[in-house]
Structure 1
């Protein structure tokens, strides 16, 4: 039995037989699980094995934060860290706090995970309850994804895609279709770093061939159908065919990597059995998923990662707290204190991840300078517990090699502010995407540059 994951045996457990009951001595199996908790022993590499390239990771926390303890009172350079941000004091030169920003067209509430990286109005299309758009990570993946085994990686504390308004993923393709997230460290490690056997290789190639055959049939039928359609329907069909062609390109990219060996990574120190839905495991699960993200970057296995640390309207805090319930605090001081504890617990995990990136040399500078990290939530629980898309908690770190400036609090009026999409656009541009707009952006976020 693995002591990290067992349910403690009751101290009242006894042996019964022949009408006699014998009490058991104190056994290890009766000890609380927390006594078996072990922090990660993983240590970062001294030097990166990848060439210096821009990377981006988007880290999402659900249910908002205690905004009163999050937003600093002072603005500009050299501001005083807020009580919550004190957790990151060792890294203050490497991050900026952006306050007052939001997604003007979003609905608010617990649909924030669906729209954090898209900025979409989910009810913009008449007659449809839900219509999303492409997320910025996928816009970036379209540009840089052909250079790596995986164009992007999607991680969440629940696997799959979830449901509309409560997605398990932050990533959406050009049709607004959610891309499934992975929540198992073991499966993610195997996908990234465990070599495929001969049988697995043949099965993979067969699967790709079947996909190509299906796509060929779909394209053939679509071309025949197009001649019978009116102008509006031809436009809709064109959007559908664009998605089919993107799938075709994705299959081709995957085929090209079948015979390229995966990086050799030792799993020592990686707690791959950690479970996101286990209150005891939460810190270790967050750490190991961030460690795998670090390894994916350091081996140039991908350059884009989206990571939903917990889905909206659910999920544990780092210590197993009911984060969703705490977000409905109603302004209660004691509940707000508990919510701030959750916020600081999350930032402790973020600080550790930043330290991994800072500790690894890449081309003579810390790897963090080649990595842009966006951390925040798509919801503001507000002073009274309202779930607003305004004044979203947002932190941007790293990217010094690409001109991002830090150690500042960039404050805006929550009712008069540039869209958060300006920040996403700026990250996309620094990743090499040649575009002047994204979603509802009005331009680059020059205050970061």
Structure 2
């Protein structure tokens, strides 16, 4: 940009005004609704941050109901009666490292199958989705700062189906908004029905051929075929759901104040992108579009902090005080975004109670970078907020010995049971996490 006058051209210094609007780090102006449009129903969102935390500044020094907030958790002071700090928990079957996102909601031993480098299992959100899908347009929503599924051990998603197959995440606020709230035109409706008819024909043919083939296979091949057919049937169910909802109008939501063009990979946009994705998660719950969401705020072995910091590099701190200080700043930046989301849920009335009472928020990481920067699946940082209407009790630091802890899957099982899942076990769980009840 330049100023021209009197035959002279002067170049201007670089100004923020020259940036496209989507690159300016303006704070979100979106505000929560006064009242939810949904009836009081149980719902859950799983929020994941990669690379662990500065555990020294994260972990409270004492425990119980009268515990003292740690320097990092001071960020959540206004919500201390509405969340629990769970320490010492981990995934006994996991190997640690930067596969935490793959196993956070599954607890799987990724190398459990001889001859295979990677075998995952179903994630708890999909167990929940099976229970709640009949009531909502979307059985579940998957969000991440990178779209798609990523690669084994560095997934872009937290969600895995019954076969351990990753479900792709969405990283575009605009696409997510349009998917939930923009009405389909006649052409879109016809295209959906045409896709259904085509897929239905293909699925019928595949199932018919598989039935004939099954009689000719040995046991091992039959097991593999059964896994494949389970995936085919899951695809069939998802296609059928699209048709069931094709003539049901989508909720009308104003987009004013929603920063739908925010980019997760842009340092200027990071806070806005996190906020708008949490705002869309809030709106998904308010409209009962879904009752379970997974949100990977950044992927393992990469990703940015809230201000664009190299979070992965900081996690390999080696005990350096300066690096630990920067890592703690990233942790607090993330918790500021979480605090704002909890504000939304607390300030929205739902059946005479705050929406947070009906919403369970699970926040944490699948690895512990530890005092020396080691990447361990033990003593994982974990917070659980909300859900008091379903019996969860908060305001405490519930501490365990990392070497003798109950598995983290006990917490996941408990959340699922509060969502209506009637199961006594999940993955390697040993029972309910009764200390939060």
The TM tier, using the shorter chain, reads over 0.9
Aligned to 1:231, which of 219, 243, 247?
219
Q: Is 246-255 or 345-354 further displaced after alignment?
A: 246-255
TM-score by length of 1: 0.94
Secondary structure of the equivalent of 1:76? Answer: coil
Q: CA deviation at 1:30?
A: 7.1
- 1:3 alignment partner in structure 2: none
After TM superposition, the runs of 4+ consecutive aligned structure 1 residues lying more than 6 A away are 30-35
Q: Kindly indicate whether residue 129 of structure 2 is the aligned counterpart of residue 148 of structure 1.
A: no
Q: Do the aligned residues in 2 keep the contact of 1:33 with 1:280 (CA within 8 Å)?
A: no
How far apart, in 2, do the equivalents of 1:28 and 1:383 lie? 42
Deviations 1:106-143 (A, max 9, x none): 11000000000000010000000100000000010011
Which of 164, 169, 179 is the equivalent residue of 1:181?
169
Kindly indicate whether the alpha-carbon contact (under 8 Å) linking 2:24 and 2:269 is maintained by their aligned counterparts in 1.
Answer: no
Q: Which runs of 5 or more residues in structure 1 are unaligned?
A: 1-8
- 1:73 maps to 61
Give deviations 1:2-27, integer Å, cap 9, x for gaps. xxxxxxx7xxx899xxxx98432457
Q: Which runs of 5+ in 2 are unaligned?
A: none
Matched residues, number? 434
For the 8 Å contact 1:87–1:347, the answer to whether it is kept is yes
Q: Partner residue of 2:434?
A: 446
Which residue of 1 is the match for residue 241 of structure 2?
Answer: 253
Alignment match, 1:201? 189
Q: Does 1:114 align with 2:102?
A: yes
Query: How far off its partner does 1:209 sit?
Result: 1.3
Change in 2 beyond 3 A, CA 1:273/1:33: closer
Residue pair 1:101, 1:391 contacting (<8 A) in 2 also: yes
Structure-1 separation of matches of 2:376 and 2:138: 34
* TM-score (ref. length: structure 2): 0.96
The 5 Å alignment of 1:185-334 reads 185-334=173-322
Structure-2 separation of matches of 1:244 and 1:64: 36
Summarize the Cα distance change of 1:46–1:14 in structure 2 as closer, same or farther, 3 Å threshold. closer
Residues in 2 aligned to 1:25 and 1:444: alpha-carbon distance in whole angstroms: 64
The whole-number CA distance in structure 2 between the counterparts of 1:385 and 1:28 is: 39
Pick one of 366, 370, 383 that aligns with 1:378.
Answer: 366
Deviations 1:133-176 (A, max 9, x none): 00000010011112100000000000000000000000000000
* Cα distance change of structure 1 residues 30 and 182 upon mapping to structure 2, 3 Å threshold: closer
* Counterpart residue number, 1:407: 395
How far apart are the structure 2 equivalents of 1:357 and 1:25?
A: 45
Deviations 1:197-220 (A, max 9, x none): 000110111111111111111100
- In the TM superposition, what is the alpha-carbon distance from 1:232 to its structure 2 partner? 3.1
Structural RMSD (CA): 1.7
2:335 match: 347
Give SS of 2:84's match: strand
**Correspondence for 2:11:** 24
Q: 1:326 Cα deviation (Å)?
A: 0.2
